[in-house]
A and B are shown apart, each in its own frame.
Chain A
């Protein structure tokens, strides 16, 4: 248990440091990314996902680590993403960058973090009503691209190539 806490702390320090260094904790950079002016952060995120998918395929082949696919609820996942997107576009912070930006000393991020605690508390209060109402009826289960494409290797290739094309496209379209 203690080992897990140290691993979490260490992983967080490394993660927070890297996202600070690339500018993801700077809400100005994030706003410029959303406005299609500065493409570095989206390219960074998508490339990291593509590399992680490839690496995770290797880890799983070696039977290392643990994975957990979250279910897809057509209504709840989509609605949650809309709510999330409004908050992300407005504040320029997401849950992870808010913590790192607080550490960096950004006052507006402290308020994003406080707002986040409030949002969590409100959701937790109404979890028993909201989940059966929004999540469960259209929950289609822990589906993955591997199920759809008939194999993990094919799905990893599709993700890597698809995200690679997105990075290329973003580089072309943004800053134009």
Chain B
């Protein structure tokens, strides 16, 4: 039997106290920086890359002009997210998998298939986030905390579409993995 992260779900924090921890961090960010955001970190990273590879291109493109490069809060934040994930992963006894269980049950253990799917998914979430001006954090969470209609509107639609998409991707396989 394959390892299943749901064998030890109790090792994940319970959602209610965890939501207080996250809200505390969000408020700390509002107080010390401003609205938290993560999709901008991707653009900052790319801006840094193009600044050394093709500086003319960066000056030419509005999207890079409007965002800071990697020497910024925005890029430090996403880098910190990776560090936080690293520390979290090293200190929790839940096996880290390259292919999620539910995906493996439906599509098998082909790494190429899974990586192609996450590459495509990653492309879509960032293309969408850059068009809207923010992601789950930068638009939905920070927007809704500020009572912004844009955040609430974005939030309702991303949840609805993600739920429909997951149903189309996994079909009945989802229910079969019930623990």
A residues neighboring B (CB under 8 Å): 1, 4-23, 25-29, 31-32, 34-37, 40-45, 47-49, 51-53, 55-56, 59, 64-73, 76-109, 111-125, 127-128, 130-131, 134-135, 142-146, 148, 152, 155-156, 159, 163
Q: How far is the CA of A155 from the CA of B130 in the complex (A)?
A: 27
Question: Is B59 engaged at the interface, CB distance under 8 Å to the other chain?
Answer: no
Residues of A within 8 A of B164 (CB): 85, 89
Q: Which residues of A contact B96 (CB under 8 A)?
A: 104-106
**Residue with the greatest number of chain B CB neighbours at <10 A, chosen from A10, A122, A159, A163:** A10
A27 lies within 8 A of B146 (CB): no
Judge if B111 is at the interface, Cβ distance under 8 Å.
yes
Contact with A along B112-141 (1 / 0, CB 8 A): 001111111111111111111111111111
* Chain A residues whose C-beta falls within 8 Å of the C-beta of B132 in the assembled complex: 70, 73, 76-77, 80-81, 84
How far, in Å, is A103 (CB) from chain B's closest CB? 3
A67–B27 alpha-carbon span in the complex (Å) = 11
Alpha-carbon separation in the docked complex, A106 to B86 (Å):
10
Q: Which residue of B lies closest to A140 (CB)?
A: B149
Given A44-B18, A77-B153, A108-B114, are A119 and B83 neighbors across the interface (CB < 8 Å)? no
Q: Which residues of B contact A (CB under 8 A)?
A: 5-6, 9, 12-16, 18-36, 38-39, 41-43, 45-46, 61-64, 71-89, 92, 94, 96-103, 111, 114-141, 143-154, 156-170, 174-175, 177-178
Are B121 and A115 in touch, CB under 8 angstroms? yes
B residues less than 8 Å from A99 (CB atoms): 38, 41, 78-79, 81-82, 85
- Please measure, in the bound complex, the distance between the C-alpha atom of A119 and the C-alpha atom of B145, giving whole angstroms: 27
* B15/A130 in contact, CB under 8 A: no
Q: Given the known A-B contacts A48-B141, A103-B83, A104-B88, are A32 and B174 also in contact in the complex, defined by CB atoms under 8 Å?
A: yes
The reply to whether A120 and B145 form a contact with Cβ atoms under 8 Å apart is no
Residues of A within 8 A of B162 (CB): 34, 85-86, 88-89
- A-side contacts of B143, CB under 8 Å: 69-70
Given A87-B121, A93-B125, decide whether A25 and B85 contact each other with a Cβ distance below 8 A.
yes
CB distance from A25 to the nearest CB of B (A): 6
Asked if A11 and B33 sit within 8 Å, CB to CB, the answer is yes
**Which chain B residue lies CB-closest to A68?**
B35
Task: List B contacts of A48 (CB < 8 A).
Answer: 19-20, 22-23, 26, 141
- When A15-B25, A44-B15 are in contact, do A69 and B148 touch as well, CB less than 8 Å? yes
- Which of B30, B46, B163 touches A67 (beta carbons < 8 Å)? B30
